[in-house]
Each structure stands twice: as C-alpha cells, then as structure tokens.
C-alpha cells in the first residue's frame, strides 16, 4: 500500500504525521509532495504547483511503485477534516473492499443537477482511494485530461455560483480560506472547476466512482457532520468575510 500527501510549505510536522499514518497503515509507504517552490526537504518530492493540488496528484502518483492500493490526500486532511476519525474509517474500509477494483473511492458529494458543469455526484478532491495499478493509470489519464482541457467557457449561472461560494455573504456557508486576495480566490476557483471537471471526465470515460462510506453510511455521515462543524468553527474564527 502507498499513501501520498500533497502539501504547500511547512505547516505540519511530517514526522508526527508519518507516525500517525503508520498507526493505521503499518506497512504503507508514505510519500509527501511539497508544492511550494523550492520548499521540498528530503525525502519530500518537489511539486510544480502548475495546477495546485491536481498537478501534485499527478506528479506524486507517478512516483508510486507498487501494485496498490493507493491513498491520496491533500493537507486539508489535517485542517478541515477529523483526521484520526477518517484514518480509522479508511483503515477499516480497505480490507473489506480489497477485491473490488472497479471503482475509485472517495468523499462522494450529491449537490444536485442545477449546473451542467457540476456532475451529480462528484468526488471531493481531498481524498482518493485507488485500489490497483490499472485503475491508477485510468485516474492519471483523466486527471491529465481535466487539467489539459483549458476551455475558458463556463455558463453564467455556474460562474455566479463559484463566485458566491468563494466570497460568501455569511459564515454559515461557502468557503472561508486563510486569505481573501484575488490570487487566492482565483486559485480556489480553478481548483473547484478541476474538482468538478475530473468527475465529469470519469463519467465520460466510463470510470466508476463510489462513496468510501458505502459499507458504513452512518459513521460516514457522522464524519461528514464533524467536518462541517469544524469548517464553520474555522469560518467564525476569521475576522472578516472579505
């Protein structure tokens, strides 16, 4: 088993994080890709950050050397999510599904069919569980396809939705990042578009996606609720919406 983590800079003690992962995945090989320019310290992998975490996922997955399964996270696992709860949950999930290699698993979202650009469902891009090498190659192909598709056309309705999500009027909804600069908002907008575009590519190319909570939906929903509470708590700690 191989675990890949995408980060930017040195916000975490990766020695402690490695020990935490070893607690749940004792035999796993752990790789960390740092997207900050010249930020990678051995044995981290230096990322290009050309498409933020998405280019990181591709660059990191190219460094996998085993036959799977593969777990891929971005570093919001340690900030916006109930870290130990999710690791415990995934640890229990993998042995029960080690023969099912026809899916890419993750945090599956059902947000409706209002926007053509946003598939229903789609995989939230902080977590991917890929069971085997063949599926990994399909994941990489669709990831590259999504990033290479530089079409700038999106509908007015979808664009308004993205802008409202990134610049919410209330702390009870939307995104509340650490910075409200135009550059940061532009990065977040691009990431959401790629998140949706990737799941659309999966569907177009016949790749099946599935919730990692399929075996235990109750605990999965509890984890989702804890995450939402944590996210709103972070939002209310911010001094301003702008």
33 in a structural domain: yes
What does the pLDDT read at residue 152? 66
Contacts of 27 (CB under 8 A, 6+ apart): 1
164-203: burial string, b at 16+ Cβ within 10 Å, e else:
eebeeeeeeeebbeeeeeeeebebbbebbbbbbbbbbbbe
Counting other chains too, the contacts that 153-157 makes at CB distance below 8 Å and 24 or more residues apart are 154/117, 154/193, 155/115, 155/116, 155/117, 157/114, 157/115
And the tokens for 210?
């599935």
Q: Answer yes or no: is pLDDT of 22 > 60.
A: yes
| Mean of pLDDT values over 42-55 | 95
pLDDT, position 180: 63
Determine contact, residues 184/177, Cβ cutoff 8 Å: yes
pLDDT at 73: 96
pLDDT reported for residue 209: 96
**Predicted pLDDT of residue 190:** 92
Residue 233 lies in a domain: yes
Of all residues in the chain, the percent with pLDDT exceeding 90 is 69
Q: How much is the pLDDT for 175?
A: 58
pLDDT band for position 50 (50/70/90)?
Answer: very high
Residue matched to tokens 């570093």: 75
29-34 and 208-211 strand pairing: unpaired
**pLDDT score at 237:** 62
pLDDT score recorded for residue 144: 95
Using an 8 Å Cβ cutoff, are 32 and 95 in contact? Answer: no
Q: What pTM does this model have?
A: 0.91
pLDDT digits (tens, 9 = 90+) for 159-182: 999 988 887 666 555 555 655 677
pLDDT surpassing 80 at residue 199: yes
**Number of domains composing the chain:** 1
DSSP state of 127: E
* Bridging pattern class, strands 103-109 and 70-74: unpaired
Query: End-to-end CA distance of the chain, in Å?
Result: 42
pLDDT tens profile 117-155? 999 999 999 999 999 999 999 999 999 999 997 766 789
The whole domain housing 75 covers 2-237
242 located within any domain: no
3-state DSSP call for residue 242? Answer: coil
Q: DSSP letter for 9, please.
A: S
pLDDT of 242 reads 46
Distance CA 177, CA 53 (A): 15
pLDDT band at 232 (very low <50, low <70, confident <90, very high): confident
- Sheet containing 29-34, strands listed edge to edge, beginning at the edge strand earlier in sequence: 45-46, 29-34, 2-7, 70-74, 122-130, 103-109, 208-211
Strand ranges, E, within the chain:
2-7, 29-34, 45-46, 70-74, 103-109, 122-130, 208-211
């Amino acid at each position: 088993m191989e675990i890949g983590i995408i980060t930017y800079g040195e916000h975490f003690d990766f020695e402690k994080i490695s020990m935490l992962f070893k607690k749940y995945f004792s035999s796993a090989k752990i790789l960390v890709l740092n997207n900050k320019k010249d930020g990678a310290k051995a044995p981290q992998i230096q990322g290009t950050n050309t498409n933020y975490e998405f280019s990181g996922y591709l660059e990191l997955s190219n460094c996998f050397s085993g036959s799977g399964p593969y777990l891929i996270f971005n570093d919001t696992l340690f900030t916006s999510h109930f870290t130990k709860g999710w690791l415990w949950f995934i640890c229990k999930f993998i042995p029960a599904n080690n023969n099912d290699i026809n899916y890419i698993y993750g945090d599956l979202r059902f947000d409706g069919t209002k926007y053509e650009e946003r598939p229903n469902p789609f995989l939230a891009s902080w977590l991917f569980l890929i069971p085997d090498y063949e599926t990994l190659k399909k994941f990489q192909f669709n990831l590259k396809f999504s990033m290479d598709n530089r079409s700038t056309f999106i509908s007015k309705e979808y664009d308004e939705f993205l802008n409202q999500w990134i610049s919410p009027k209330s702390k009870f909804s939307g995104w509340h990042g650490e910075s409200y600069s135009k550059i940061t908002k532009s990065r977040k907008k691009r990431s959401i578009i790629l998140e949706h575009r990737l799941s659309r590519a999966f569907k177009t190319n016949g790749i099946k996606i599935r919730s990692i909570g399929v075996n235990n939906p109750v605990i999965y929903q509890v984890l989702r609720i804890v995450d939402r509470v944590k996210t709103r708590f972070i939002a209310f700690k911010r001094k301003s919406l702008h």
